[in-house]
Amino acid sequence: MRRREGEETVASRTITLNINGEERNVMVRNADTLLYTLRGKLGLSGSKPGCLNGDCGACTVNVDGWPMKSCLMLAVEAEGKKVMTIEGLRNAPIQQAFVKEFAFQCGYCTPGFIMNCHALLEQHPNADDKTIKEWLESNICRCTSYIEIEKAVKSVLRGHSGGS
């Protein structure tokens, strides 16, 4: 028996998600995470699976301006909210800063890290060291030393000169 997506049941349905400013209709299982839906149904593969357990932060997106691990959220929970993924971020200062400071190597954690940084810049444009640490310890980067990321973030935060 085939049971492909497309069939409405008590366990699945079509929802409308606001992703990067666009309304997208998508058929999901209620049990599908937002991450799975973004990648598997909407072709937005910038958000990366790293643990599916809320531990690594590689799948971080912004939901209503706050960072969210998209593996910890059901797609159905995102209905009515504004979701922004790395694909929705174009030429943001934090992206330029990551390039300039060599704040990535393999690049796999980078979209999630950038989305977390972006939310931080929006919510706390004057963040101090303690706040930066509290926010950024949510993501794992296995390649860099974090010093590069710290420099990148501080170079776009107000009140920091760009160095550590």
Partner 1 sequence: MDVIGKSVIRKEAADKVTGRAKYTNDFQSIEMLSCKMVISPYGHAKIVNIDTSKAWKVPGVIAIIAGKRYPLTGEAIRDRPPIAVDKVRYHGEPVALVVAETPSQAKTAADLIKVQYELLPVVNSPAQAFQKDAPLVHERLGEYKLEADSYPVPGTNIATHYKIRKGNMEKGWSESETVVEASFSFAPSDHAAMETRCATAEIVPDGNIMITTSSQAPFMVKRLIADYFGEDMGKIIVRTPLVGGAYGGKASVQLEVLAYLASKEVGGRPVKLLNTREEDIITSACHIGLDATVKLGVDRSGKIRAAEIRYLWDGGAYSDKAVDVSRSGAVDCTGPYDVENLWCDSYCMYTNHPYAAPFRGFSHSELSFAIERTMDLLAQKLNMDPFELRYINAIQPGDTTPTRVKLNKSNVGNLRKCIEKVKELFKWEEGAIKEIDDRFIRVKGVSCSWKTSTIDTDAPSGVILTFNRDGSINLMSGVVEIGTGTKTILAQILAERMRMDVDNIHVRMEVDTQTTPEHWKTVASRGTFMGGRAVLRAAEDAINQLKEIAACALRAPKDDLEVANSRVFLRDDPSIGLHFKDICYGFKYPNGQTIGQQVIGRGSYILRHLTHLDPETGAGKPGPEWTVAAYGVEIEFDKRDYTYRLIKACTVVDVGNVMNEKAAEGQVMGAMSMGLAFAGRETFYFDELGRVLNPQLRTYRPLRYGENPEYLVGFVKTPQLDGPYGARGLGEHGLMGMPGALGNALSIASGVSLHHLPLIPELIWRAKEAVK
Partner 2 sequence: MLPFDFEYYRPETLKEAVERYQFLEHQGKQPTYFSGGTELITLGRINLAYADAVIDMKEIAECNMKEFNGDHLVLGSALSLTQIEEANPFPLLTSVASEVADHTARGKITLGGNICAQIFYREAVLPFLLADSQVIIVGPEGIRNVQINEIFQEHLRLKKGELLVQTVTDRRFIGAPFFAKKRRQQWDTGYPLITVAALKIGQEIRLAISGLCPFPFRSEEMEVYINRWGQSLEARIDGALSVLPKSILDDVEGSADYRIFVLRNLLMDALQALG
Nearest to 30 by CA among 10, 48, 45: 10
Residues that bind partner 2 (CB under 8 A): 9-12, 29-33, 36, 52-54, 57, 60, 66-69, 71-74, 76-77, 116, 134-135, 137-139
Whichever of 99 and 143 has its CB closer to partner 2, that residue is: 143
Q: Shortest Cβ distance from residue 136 to partner 2 (Å)?
A: 8
Judged by beta carbon distances under 5 to 8 A according to partner kind, the member of partner 1, partner 2, none in contact with residue 67 is: partner 2
Judged by beta carbon distances under 5 to 8 A according to partner kind, the member of partner 1, partner 2, none in contact with residue 14 is: none
Q: Shortest Cβ distance from residue 133 to partner 2 (Å)?
A: 8
- Looking up tokens 């931080």 gives 120
Q: Is 52 helix (H, G, I), strand (E, B) or coil?
A: coil
Whichever of 89 and 162 has its CB closer to partner 2, that residue is: 89
- Looking up tokens 């919510």 gives 123
Nearest to 79 by CA among 23, 35, 36: 23
Ramachandran sector of residue 144 (left: φ over 0; alpha: ψ -120 to 50; beta: rest) = beta
